[in-house]
Structures are given as structure tokens and as C-alpha cells.
């Protein structure tokens, strides 16, 4: 006789008797009975490697010939995993009419249904389920998530009687059902995490593609602005226009550097890598001096010093090394003390190019040191308009692409010093 869903049951071996129980859990939220949802849950159970072994253990310990993990809702009964030695004929994904099963009653009661010998059991000898499926022994235990949602049942049947009401057997089924529920929850959490990760990656890739396209498309209008700045600088008869052109050219140069960083970042993140054109050069020192002179021209109020002791051939990508120096000096200009000198050094020693930039001012907090080469990271005290937080990341990528290392030390006594060490070969 079907039991009302509003009743809770008190379980006694061999029978199932209605009894009021105010502590019974609330009715579970119904699972969705779409083909997609059912297939997903069947696959989730199939991914639990322990389930086949659990079903074998159940059959071996009880002597029953059929055991299954079933997904049970108000409208469907679906086998998710099966151990069948009696040719019951049900495979994973196979379904029974839920109203013909005793799992429906177990679901309504949130308690096990246990039958040792159906034809002699006073509660089930006239029940339609044992007669319909020609079974004598039966046990079904709910599989319930920790949030109270009902998934289904762990059940076993056999055409012969069996002593399944033994408390140890019921305890085994209950423990296995709890284990399956926890594993399904883990599967769900992992699936959600993977979906979220894929979504985050897709969003990040789209963002980086957008940044790359935007940076590329800004080249042409920026070139026009730079050309206008050059024309203004040539107006020697109008000092105000020359001053405006100089400021405009400086801003254009800064914008060009930001675009370079953005495009380099996009190339690295989208898999193209940091492009290098390695060659031998005798003129790296003069190229680096150009960078220092440009920084002096843009920051006449600062004391920028250089010691460029590079004598001999250097094998590198000169424009990229200039880019590293420009970004490191830009970082020193932004974060260094206004009254402290910025010192640039470059030297060839032991077949290595050692390039360093030092500045005074407030030291970098120790907790921030591991983060400063991360993209988009900026210290909490950064001023608005201080850049995108890509400069040091790009420096590290360029140095790394050369097979070198970029390190930083910072203290109140010694100041902040970035050192790039690149193999010369």
C-alpha cells in the first residue's frame, strides 16, 4: 500500500510502519526529469570508481543476485549502476515505472524498506511490487545529500528469501548509500569548479583578444598625434606651441609604451610567446643611453645617472633590452623618492649582461615582493593613472625569453634595486 509523503516512518526489521516523527527531514526538492538531467546523473554515478565494487560486495554478503544504484524522483526510476547475476535484465540508464517500485515508498518515508521473505511478510505478502517482479527478498536505502536533497536509492533484490533485515546488513547498505551521496556531491562540486574555470578562461581569453585588437587599432591614431606633436615642436616662432608639442610628444611616447606592453602581454597570454629577434650588436650601450636620455628629457626634475660599461659584442634583442630598461626606469620614476637619484648600470661580466636600476624612496613591503611581476598587479598605495600594472611583468617575460632572470631587492637602507641577468651567448 503506497504511503503518504506527509508521513514519516519508523523502521522495524521486516516491515515498514507509519509513525509520526516531527524530526523527519523536509520533503526534498524534486530532481529534474529531463533526458539531459537523467543522463548526467547516470554518468556521474558511472564515474564513481568504487560503485561496481560496492555492488559486488552487497551481492556477495547478502546472497542476493541483483543490486543497483537508482535515481528516484516522483516521476521516474532510473538505474545508474547495476550488478546483475540473475539476468533481471536492467542496464545502466534503464528505467522502471516508479509507481511499481518500493523505492517510491522509501523516498516518501526517507527510510529503508527491508523485506526478508515477501510471501510470508504480513506487510508485503499482498503488495503488488514483489508479485510484479517475482521477488522474495528486497532492501532499499535512501541516498540523500547533506543538504537534504534526495538523489535515489541503493537497493538489492532476489527471487529467493534472504536475511537482509539483519542490523549489520542494513548498516552496510546505509554506509554505502552515504558514501555514494558524498561522492556524488564531490562530483558535482568538481563539475561546477571545472565549468567555472572554463568560463573564467574563456572570459580571460576574450578580454585579452579584445585588448590586443584595441592596442593594435590605437597605433594609427597615436601616430597621427605624434606627427602633430612634431609639427608643433618645429614652430620656433611660437614658444607656447613648442612647449605644447613637447608635452604632447612625451604623452605620445608614454602611450606608445603602454600599447607595446598591452600587445606583448596579449601575445604571451594568447600563446604566441614573447617575440625576440636575437642578434649580435656592438652598440647596446648607445641604445641604452638613448633610453636614459629620453627619461631625463621627460623628467628634468629627477637625477638620473648611468654607468654603461659594455665593451664587446652582446647577443640579444636590442629593442627588447631597451624596453626592459625603459620600463624599469619608468617604475623608478613612479615609485622612487623625488630627491633620490635613479642609478642605471649595465656591465658585461663572466659572459653575462647585468642590467640594474636602483632608486630610493619607500621600500617595497615584503608581502608585495612576490607579487610585483604579476600582470595587472599594482601596490595598494598606487596613484590613479599610474599605468596598467604590466611593465614589470613584461620585463620579466623579456628577460625570461632571453634565458635570464629578473630579481628585486628593497629595503629602507639600500633602496629598491631591480637586477636583470642575461646570458651572453
> Is the domain covering 9-193 a CATH 3.30.450.40 domain?
yes
| Rounded average pLDDT over 5-25 | 32
pLDDT of residue 21: 35
Supply the DSSP string of 324-392, one letter for each residue. HHHHHHHHHHHHS-TTSPEEEEEEEETTEEEEEEEE-SSPPPTTTGGGTTSTT---TTPPTTS--S-HH
Residue 17 has pLDDT above 60, yes or no: no
- Per CATH, 9-193 and 279-423 having the same topology is answered no
In this predicted model, what pLDDT tens digit does every residue of 310-338 receive, in sequence order? 988 999 999 899 999 999 998 999 889 98
Residue 358: beta bridge partners?
343, 417
| Side-by-side strand order, sheet with 342-349 | 304-309, 342-349, 352-359, 415-423, 405-411
Which tens digits make up the pLDDT trace of 209-230?
676 666 667 767 787 888 888 8
CATH architecture of the domain with residue range 279-423: 2-Layer Sandwich (3.30)
d(CA 149, CA 36): 19
For the chain, domain boundaries: 9-193, 218-269, 279-423
The segment with the largest mean pLDDT, out of 20-34, 151-165, 269-283, 381-395, is: 151-165
Q: What is the DSSP letter of 119?
A: G
Amino acid at each position: 500500500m503506497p504511503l503518504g509523503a506527509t508521513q514519516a516512518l519508523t523502521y522495524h526489521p521486516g516491515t515498514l510502519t507509519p509513525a509520526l516523527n516531527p524530526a523527519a527531514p523536509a520533503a526534498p526538492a524534486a530532481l529534474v526529469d529531463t533526458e539531459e538531467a537523467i543522463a548526467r546523473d547516470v554518468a556521474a554515478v558511472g564515474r564513481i570508481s568504487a560503485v561496481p565494487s560496492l555492488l559486488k560486495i552487497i551481492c556477495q554478503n547478502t546472497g542476493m543476485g541483483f543490486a543497483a544504484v537508482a535515481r528516484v524522483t516522483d516521476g521516474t526510476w532510473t538505474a545508474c549502476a547495476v550488478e546483475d547475476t540473475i539476468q533481471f535484465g536492467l542496464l545502466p540508464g534503464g528505467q522502471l515505472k516508479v509507481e511499481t517500485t518500493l523505492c517510491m515508498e522509501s523516498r516518501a518515508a526517507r527510510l529503508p524498506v527491508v523485506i526478508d521473505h515477501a510471501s510470508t511478510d504480513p506487510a508485503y505478502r499482498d503488495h503488488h511490487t514483489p508479485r510484479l517482479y517475482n521477488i522474495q527478498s528486497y532492501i532499499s536505502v535512501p541516498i540523500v545529500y547533506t543538504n537534504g536533497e534526495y538523489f535515489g536509492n541503493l537497493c538489492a533484490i532476489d527471487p529467493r528469501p534472504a536475511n537482509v533485515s539483519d542490523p549489520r546488513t542494513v548498516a552496510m547498505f546505509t554506509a554505502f548509500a552515504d558514501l555514494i551521496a558524498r561522492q556524488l556531491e564531490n562530483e558535482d562540486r568538481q563539475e561546477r569548479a571545472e565549468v567555472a574555470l572554463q568560463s573564467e578562461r574563456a572570459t580571460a581569453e576574450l578580454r585579452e583578444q579584445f585588448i590586443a585588437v584595441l592596442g593594435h587599432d590605437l597605433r594609427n591614431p597615436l601616430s597621427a598625434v605624434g606627427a602633430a606633436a612634431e609639427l608643433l615642436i618645429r614652430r620656433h616662432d611660437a614658444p607656447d606651441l613648442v612647449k605644447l608639442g613637447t608635452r604632447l610628444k612625451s604623452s605620445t611616447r608614454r602611450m606608445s609604451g603602454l600599447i607595446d606592453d598591452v600587445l606583448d602581454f596579449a601575445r604571451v597570454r594568447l600563446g604566441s610567446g614573447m617575440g625576440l629577434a636575437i642578434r649580435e650588436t656592438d652598440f647596446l650601450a648607445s641604445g641604452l643611453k638613448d633610453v636614459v636620455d629620453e627619461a631625463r628629457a621627460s623628467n628634468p626634475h629627477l637625477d638620473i645617472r648611468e654607468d654603461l660599461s659594455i665593451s664587446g659584442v652582446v647577443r640579444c634583442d636590442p629593442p627588447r633590452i631597451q624596453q626592459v630598461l625603459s620600463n624599469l626606469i619608468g617604475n623608478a620614476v613612479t615609485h622612487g623618492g623625488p630627491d633620490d637619484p635613479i642609478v642605471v648600470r649595465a656591465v658585461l661580466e663572466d659572459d653575462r649582461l647585468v642590467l640594474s636600476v636602483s632608486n630610493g624612496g619607500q621600500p617595497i613591503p615584503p608581502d608585495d615582493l612576490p607579487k610585483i611581476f604579476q600582470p595587472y598587479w599594482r601596490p595598494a598605495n598606487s596613484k590613479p593613472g599610474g599605468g596598467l600594472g604590466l611593465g614589470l611583468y613584461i620585463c620579466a617575460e623579456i628577460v625570461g625569453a632571453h634565458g635570464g632572470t629578473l630579481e628585486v631587492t628593497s629595503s629602507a637602507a639600500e633602496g629598491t634595486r631591480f637586477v636583470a641577468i642575461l646570458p651572453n651567448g
